[in-house]
Every structure is written in C-alpha cells, then in structure tokens.
Amino acid sequence: MGTALVYHEDMTAARLLWDDPECEIECPERLTIALERLRQRGLEQRCLRLAAREASEEELGLVHSPEYVALLRGTQALGTGELQALSGQYDAIYFHPSTFHCARLAAGAALQLVDAVLTGAVQNGLALVRPPGHHSQRAAANGFCVFNNVAIAAKHAKQKHGLHRILIVDWDIHHGQGIQYIFEDDPSVLYFSWHRYEHGRFWPYLQESDTDAVGQGQGRGFTVNLPWNQVGMGNADYVAAFLHVLLPLAFEFDPELVLVAAGFDSAVGDPEGQMQATPECFAHLTQLLQVLACGRVCAVLEGGYHLESLSQSVCMMVQALLGDPPLPLSGPMEPHRSALESIQSVRAAQAPHWMSLQQQDAAPVLSPSTRSPEGSISPLLPGGPEFKAPVAQTEAQAMAALSSLLDQLRLYPTPPLRTAVALTELDAALVLPPDVLHWERSAPQKEMQAWARPHEALAQDKSFNALGKVLYLLDSILDGQVSSGIAATPAPAAAATLDVAIQRGLSHRAQRLLCVAVGQLDRPLDLADDGRTLWLNIRGKEAAALSMFHVSTPLPGTTGGFLSYILALVLPLAYGFQPNLVLVALGPAHGLQAPQAALLAALLRVPAGGQVLVLVEEESTPQLAGVLVQALRGEGPPSLGPFSRASPEEMQALEHLRGQLRTQWKMLQVAAPQGL
Ligand code: Q9C
Ligand code: ZN
C-alpha cells in the first residue's frame, strides 16, 4: 500500500554558527547525504514523496508550553551573540535564526506522516527531519532537540484520530527522556527506549534512565528502559532486546500505531553511541515491528552522526518499509554478557506489569545430565554469509573494516524480488496482488522421477505434478529468482513432499535449512544431524530436544503461549541458526489459525532474509493462502485476537526446552549465565 517519505529542504538551513565541539555533529549534511543515498539506490523514487509542512502553534501546544513556543518564535530575530547566550541556557543546544522554522517543519513532517498512515494513504513511512526531538521537554530544549516531534505526533494521533494505544520505539542511542516525561503517567502510550548508560556515566546522566523507571500512577509499566552499560553492543544484542523485551510487551499491549524515534547513533561507526550494530540490523528491527499494528509504522529521524553509517541505515530502514526482504545479519549471534544483564534487569522490573513476562524462568532448570542435547555437534559457523568484517586490532583497522563494510552494503543490488504462489484448487478463489507470480513451472520430469521414486505417496499424478512445482519454486528461491513462495500439495503427499524438498534444498544451494513442520510430520529418518538442517516440529507429541538440531514442541492453545513459543524459542533459534532457506510445512492436523500461520511466516521471513517457502495442504482454505501471501510480501499480519495468558503447562514445557537448548543457542538467553 506504499511508503511515505516526508522531507523539506528548508530543514537543512539551521546550522551551528560558533565553535562548539559538542554540537557540531548535528549538521545539515546529515539530511542531504541520507537523501542522496536514497536517490542513488532508487529508494526515494519508490516512495510517496511528501513535502513537510510546518506544525501550527496549536499543534506544538499539544506538548509544549505557550511561553516556550513564544520564546522559540522570538529566536528568529536574534543576532548570533544573543542566540549563543540563549543556547547556553540549555544542555547541548544551539539556535540559529532558522531554527524555529526548521523545528516546526520537523514536527509538521511527523504529523503529516501520521496523517498519511492513519488515513490509509500509505502503509508506513519515514520523516527525514532535523532538528531531532526526543530530548525536548514541555518547556525546554535539550540535546539538539527543540520540539518533541514524536511526542507531538503521538498526542495528535490520540486527539485527531482517536487512537487508544500507541507504541513508541526509541532506538536512538540516547535516552529520550523528553518522551518519557511527557507520557510517564499515560497508559495509552507505551514508551520503549534503549540507550547507552554505563551505569549513569553517560549523557544525560539520569537515574530515571534505568530499568526501575517504569512510569507513574496509571502509567506504571508503560515506560520501558533498557540501559546498555557497556559500549560495543551489536546485532545480537539488539535482536535479543526485541525478542525478549520489546516484542512480548508490544504484542500484549496490541498497539494501533507504532512510532519509531529512529536515531541511528546506535549504529556502527557513530561517535556518540560507540556501538557495533550494522546497517542491515535496522532492516531487521523495522520488519520485526511491521508485524504489529497491521504494519502501521511511522519512523521519525532522531540522531545519527556518522554520515555514511547513518545513510546506509536509513536506506536499510526504507527498504524494509517498502517490503524488500532484509539482508542477512553479519557477525556472531551471541549477545554480550552485559546486554543479558540489562535484559534480565528490565524483564524483572516490568514483570509485575505484564502477563507475558510472568512465569518466566519459573520452571525448574533441568540439570545438564537429564536429556541434554548432544553437545558434540557444533553448528556451521553462524554469521551472514555475505558480509564478514575482519576483527580489528587497531583504530585504523577498525576504520578500514567499517568503510569496507559500508562499501559492500552500498554496492549490494536491490533486485525486485517477488512472492510466487503455486496453488491448485485454491487458485480460483484467491485474488492476488498484481506483483505476485502465479507459479506454473515445474522441474524436469526425469530429474523428478529420481527424487520421487522412494516415496509411494508421490506416485499419483496429482502429487507428482505438485512436487514438480515445489521443486522448481525451491530452486528459484535459492537461485534468487524469486524471494518467497507458497505451494500446495495433496494431503497424503505432505510428508513425502517435505522430505524431497529438504533433500533438494540441501543438495542445491542451501547451506543451512530451517524446517518448521507444523502438525503431524515426522523428521525424515535419513536426515543427517550435521548442523545443516534445523528441524523444529510444532505440535510434536511432547516438548523434547533430541539434539540441538531436532526440537519438537506442542502447539500452545493460548495466544500468550503461542507468542511466547514464537518469540522465546522459534525466532531465537532461527536467528542463531541464520538459515538461508526456511521451509514452513503446514501438515496434517496442523491446527494453526490463519492469523497464527501468517504471523509465523511474517516473523520467520526476517531472519531468513525473505527466503521462505510455505507448503500448505491443497485442502486449505483460500483465506489461509491469502494471509500467507500478505505475510510473505511483508504486509502486516492480521491480529491474533485478544491476549490470553499462557497456561502454566505451556510455560513449563517452553522453559524445559529453553533450559536444554540455551547453552548451545545463545539467542535463547534472557539472563546472564551464573558463575564465570
Ligand atoms: N559525549 C540526539 O542524538 N552530547 N541528541 C552528549 C556525550 C549531547 C544527542 C555528549 C548529545 C545529544 C538526538
Ligand atoms: Zn541520539
């Protein structure tokens, strides 16, 4: 349905007029270079371009005091000396004669974006703005921020569009204390922020940035702070924070709109953040958010001071908003110990306020001797196969590694990959979007006969023909011709088709294949436990990890249980394994409702870099196929319905598995391991 890009050249007018090493990084080139990169990559052209308008003084008044707005109005007529003197009254602020105009455009851009999304003109979008907003308070400028663009947009969404639940995700590397203060007693706005904290030794040095600040009064539990107490946090830490903190709460909250305070000073190379997350991580974070609020995501630029890293990260985010599959994440998927301590601390602080965090770690952890997975198997080296930055020893090597990484990203092609559908009886009833391919092609007969021969179930013409389409579709995904697909199989041939698909994938190009089998499907007996296939059976008879690559779980009956299984087990395994193909098979008696299946596909698509093939039974409803198509194209999946608390049995089975697996799959951890 489209992505908006809101911008106005006038926002490059404000700049620092005197010497101030702290403020000079907030420069006009931040916008011009980001925009230039978007153009070079053809991304700007794919968006609905909207020229930013100024916010009215009434709109500014949704958050700021009339006196403060009047003071800012007055800065337009001041000389440099007076501007410098006034700036000195605030922390990390510079004013310019054009600041008032720019800041009104920045707030107005956020408002326009929210209006475009909530009127249905677009699905999502990004406002490229400066000055940033999240530090600004009711009557104070702070940290380069003049008006609180995101807070104004949230108030506007409540007041003008009647929204009741808004999620604000602040991934800027500084604490958006301004947003926190504005909504701290408001349960209709859930504010999540992670930030460089170093136990209070990093700017803005506030106690209320720590995990125990959870909101006030009615708003208790609606402020969520995740402080990073060390620099160097990277992709694994950020993804773990989403899977184990933000997303469980967000699903329970069930927002109608997601606002992102999108600062990219949390990306590698940034002088302020000193973190390690690579630009493609922001595509992952964005797509993980797109499963919420029916995909209504409005991002507003905040910080980001390394011009090249900022620009690449902005490009990645826009690509994700446009629905392009994300690049695989680079680097080892193992969160830092300090990150796990922070995650543990915020989960403990929030547990009284959220069902989805209760019962956590309540189940006894089995001692390693009981049914522990075979420790001898070590997986193939994880890490995105595309980009490998060498470990740097010196500052100069680190710089060289960063620029080589950014160069590789800049050159990465953006093919218009598509979703293909190979259905049979379902086809007639399905209205497909125009960019979805109807898959008719089949693998060559001769080749197929060899694959099908061992399986009696594939002898029938119908099953054999369906297999031909599946195999050709699989090859096309692995060759990069299409991104993802859905294929139907007659029910009696489901297991055999899956079996052949796995063998074919492994012998073709899949270095690592994740197979998520839902329903009565057994792991093929001849599948080697060599770390190339991770087999996950949902609705297995019991929760059991026969090895670290062979896991089976029951299917939870509650929405809370289902979400916990996906966020706390399936996705951490998927991120740890870093598959280049995910096969999702909805087999006999799979028991998934259409929205559950769509959510599973939409979420698995992210760690898989879009490469997902879903096998459904021919008898499935067109409705199921329809929502799966949407999910694979990156559209927001439908809601799961009201949140119901996971049952103690479900949580116990989950914790049992997690206890068995978390020494090998580090992304499962939600707390720092004891000892060491
Ligand atoms: N070295 C935003 O990113 N200076 N504002 C901190 C610590 C102020 C950042 C000094 C940074 C303000 C929107
Ligand atoms: Zn920042």
Using one digit for the tens of pLDDT, what is the confidence trace for 585-631? 999 999 999 999 999 999 999 999 999 999 999 888 888 989 999 99
Structure tokens at 62: 């949704």
Q: Is the pLDDT of residue 416 over 90?
A: no
pLDDT above 90 covers a percentage of the chain that reads 82
Q: Is the pLDDT of residue 32 over 50?
A: yes
What are the C-alpha distances in Å from 410 to residues 286, 303, 314, 397, 605? Answer: 19, 21, 12, 20, 23
Q: Is 438 a catalytic residue?
A: no
Ligand lying nearest the CA atom of residue 146: 1
Question: Is the peptide bond preceding residue 131 cis, with omega within 30 degrees of 0?
Answer: yes
Mean pLDDT for the chain overall: 92
User: How far, in Å, from the CA of 172 to the mean position of ligand 1?
Assistant: 10
Q: Which residues pair with 550 in a beta bridge?
A: 535, 547
Using one digit for the tens of pLDDT, what is the confidence trace for 158-189? 999 999 999 999 999 999 999 999 999 999 99
Cβ atoms of residues 317 and 200 within 8 Å: no
Distance of CA 118 to the CA centre of its chain: 21
Higher local confidence (pLDDT), 507 or 368: 507
Q: Is the pLDDT of residue 428 over 70?
A: no
Q: Is the pLDDT of residue 362 over 50?
A: no
Task: Tell me what pLDDT residue 383 has.
Answer: 38
pLDDT above 70 covers a percentage of the chain that reads 92
Which of 210-214, 359-363, 464-468, 481-485 comes out lowest in average pLDDT?
359-363
Residue 375: which pLDDT band, with cuts at 50, 70 and 90?
A: very low
Ligand lying nearest the CA atom of residue 90: 1
Residue 425: which pLDDT band, with cuts at 50, 70 and 90?
A: low
Residues 220-227, mean pLDDT to the nearest whole number: 99
Q: Is the pLDDT of residue 668 over 60?
A: yes
Q: What are the start-end ranges of the E strands in 474-611?
A: 484-489, 513-518, 533-538, 544-547, 550-553, 581-586
Cα separation, 42 vs 46, whole angstroms: 7
Q: Which atom of ligand 1 is nearest to the CA of 134?
A: 13
Which of 294-298, 411-415, 510-514, 595-599 comes out lowest in average pLDDT?
411-415
Cβ atoms of residues 331 and 293 within 8 Å: no
Cα separation, 306 vs 271, whole angstroms: 7
Q: What is the second-level CATH architecture of the domain 3-383?
A: 3-Layer(aba) Sandwich (3.40)
Q: Could you state, in order of their start, the residue ranges of all structural domains in the chain?
A: 3-383, 419-668
Identified catalytic residue from 8, 134, 135, 336: 135
In this structure, the residue with its CA closest to atom 2 of ligand 1 is 303
Task: Tell me what pLDDT residue 432 has.
Answer: 79
Residue 369: which pLDDT band, with cuts at 50, 70 and 90?
A: very low
User: How far, in Å, from the CA of 612 to the mean position of ligand 1?
Assistant: 40
Residues 275-301, mean pLDDT to the nearest whole number: 98
The answer to whether the 3-383 and 419-668 domains have the same CATH topology is yes
Which of 283-287, 316-320, 412-416 comes out lowest in average pLDDT?
412-416
Q: Is the pLDDT of residue 632 over 90?
A: yes
| CATH of the domain spanning 419-668 | 3.40.800.20
> Given the structure tokens 């460089």, which residue do they identify?
196
Structure tokens at 187: 């349960």
Q: Is the pLDDT of residue 154 over 50?
A: yes
